[in-house]
Amino acid sequence: MSETQIPYKIYLSEDELPKAWYNLRADMKNKPAPLLHPGTLEPMTAGELEAVFCTELVRQELDNDTPFFEIPQEIRDFYKMYRPAPLVRAYCLEKALDTPAKIYYKFEGNNTSGSHKLNSAIAQAYYAKEQGLKGVTTETGAGQWGTALSMACGYLGLDCKVYMVKCSYDQKPFRREVMKVYGASVTPSPSETTNVGRKILAEFPGTTGSLGCAISEAVETAGAEPGYRYVLGSVLNQVMLHQSIIGLEAKAALDKYGVKPDIIIGCAGGGSNLGGLIAPFMGEKLRGEADYRFVAVEPVSCPSLTRGEYRYDFCDTGMVCPLAKMYTLGSSFIPSAGHAGGLRFHGMSPTLSQLYADGYMEAISVQQTSVFAAAEEFARVEGILPAPESSHAILAAVNEAKRCKETGEAKTILFGLTGTGYFDLLAYEKFHNGEMTDTVPTEEAIAQSLARLPKV
């Protein structure tokens, strides 16, 4: 098919939408390591996990072999409210960069939660409801996961308690209002409402919080209230499974036009977007059917893949959650108050960590002032105001396209545009006013945090 026939945006029709999620682990030779119990340091059993998570989600979490999970009809109907997400050919960006590269992005921001997080939120809320639960608890960083879960719970009539990382709570005052519209309660974390919150506040009185702290509080609350379970928006295998819808749709859209990407780029906090986007492509690579370059982009201020160690660590700061084997900066690592709240997690998805350890994926880290400069350039030519998290991927894609200009190569670049930045205007304002700074964690800070980890 000739180049000019590719539209600016490719929308799949409803009958082309994926009917099953793809479980990348089924094609991995080295499976991600099992979660360990925080007390015994033994692999968590299904029964132990079910005290924290919904039963069906535990089944998904532990299944390393089944390649496809059928998407229940009620979730598929919900998906139809805001999916398919468009696959966009960035003609305007290509023109502005004067690059021979062909740039595509999968845009997940066209829903009120403003990001891809809704894909897993509706799945997790659905299984909680199926199990007859009263509600769920969770943490949120940038606020996108909390908003997504609020929307899903509002739709299904479930109660929703959100612990929001304090720096995001302060920087995004309107986020909690959106969550309220959907009926959720929102508490800034660390808070005085939990044992673990009080402990963290006593140790670090001025802390602006982290995803790790907020997770601890949400898990404690779920355990304390009958009829509640904890749900998590990233990191876990089950989340990678649900988010595979991103990559499945993107691949179906590209396949329609016979396009094969050379490089696939995504921002990486806990890994939910990147894991979802790359899933079917990585599957082809693992099965030896095709080759792609995969690039994870993380902030210099929270560089788990690029500067962390691959080892067992707690998923939370309070050390009450299971341990996961992952690239980590140490669960007591608290990043400086950067604006990409969704990328402030100390660890990384165990699935992605294993793939990175096995050499299937690259990782880079970028500074936030460069990220915002790329975000603004993108907004002006492509019309979409991107979230700071997503803008990490934009910067990396732009840099690849610029390299293509130098070398004359017409590479095909696919990146994940995970969401919109409507609630990040304080950060944009700081950038404009020249008040934004770049921070690099010291070797000592990372070493100290890693030294506190248990020897497993």
DSSP 364: E
- Rg, Å, the chain Cα set: 20
Which one of 29-37, 129-137, 378-386, 399-407 is the stretch in contact with its own copies (CB under 8 A)? 378-386
- Binding residues for its own copies, rule CB under 8 A, total 43
End-to-end CA distance of the chain: 54
How far is it, in rounded angstroms, from Cα 397 to Cα 297? 10
Q: Name the residue among 408, 421, 122 with its Cα closest to residue 267.
A: 421
For position 111 contacting its own copies by CB under 8 A, the verdict is: yes
Instruction: Tell me if 80 contacts its own copies by CB under 8 A.
Output: yes
Stretch that binds its own copies, among 18-26, 104-112, 131-139, 184-192 (CB under 8 A): 104-112
Nearer to its own copies, 116 or 325 (CB): 116
Of the candidates 429, 440, 447, 448, which one interacts with its own copies according to CB under 8 A?
A: 429
Among residues 160, 384, 395, 414, which is the contact residue for its own copies, using CB under 8 A?
384
Q: Which is nearer to its own copies, 8 or 358 (by Cβ)?
A: 8
* Cβ-defined contacts of 372-377 (< 8 Å, 24+): 372/339, 372/427, 372/428, 372/431, 372/436, 373/431, 374/398, 375/421, 375/428, 376/428, 376/431, 377/96
Q: Note the Cα 42 to chain centre separation in Å.
A: 27
Structure tokens at 376: 């603004």
**Residue 114 vs 330, nearer CB to its own copies:** 114
Kindly state whether residue 110 participates in binding its own copies, applying the rule CB under 8 A.
yes
Among 27, 72, 74, 82, binds its own copies (CB under 8 A): 82
- With b for 16 or more beta-carbon neighbours within 10 A and e for fewer, the 338-367 pattern comes to bbbbbbbbbbbbbbbbbbbbeebbebbbbb
Binding mask 49-78 toward its own copies (x if CB under 8 A, else -) reads: ----------------------------x-
Residue with Cβ nearer its own copies (171 or 317): 171
Nearer to its own copies, 59 or 430 (CB): 430
Among 306, 425, 438, 445, binds its own copies (CB under 8 A): 425
Q: How many CB atoms lie within 10 A of CB 157?
A: 10
CA distance 190 to 198: 7
Q: Are 9 and 383 in contact (CB under 8 A)?
A: no
| Minimum distance, C-beta of residue 160 to its own copies, in the bound complex (Å) | 12
Of residues 131-190, those binding its own copies (CB under 8 A): 151, 154-155, 173-174, 177-178, 180-183
Q: Which stretch binds its own copies (CB under 8 A): 4-12, 18-26, 256-264, 332-340?
A: 4-12
Q: What are phi and psi of 333, to 5 degrees?
A: -70, 125
What is the C-alpha separation between 24 and 278, in angstroms, rounded? 9
Least distance from C-beta 429 to its own copies, angstroms? 5
Closest by CA position to 270, among listed 68, 430, 120:
120
Tokens of 86: 């468009």
Per CB under 8 A, residues contacting its own copies are: 7-9, 11, 13-14, 77, 80-82, 91-92, 110-112, 114, 151, 154-155, 173-174, 177-178, 180-183, 376, 379-385, 420, 422-423, 425-426, 428-429, 432
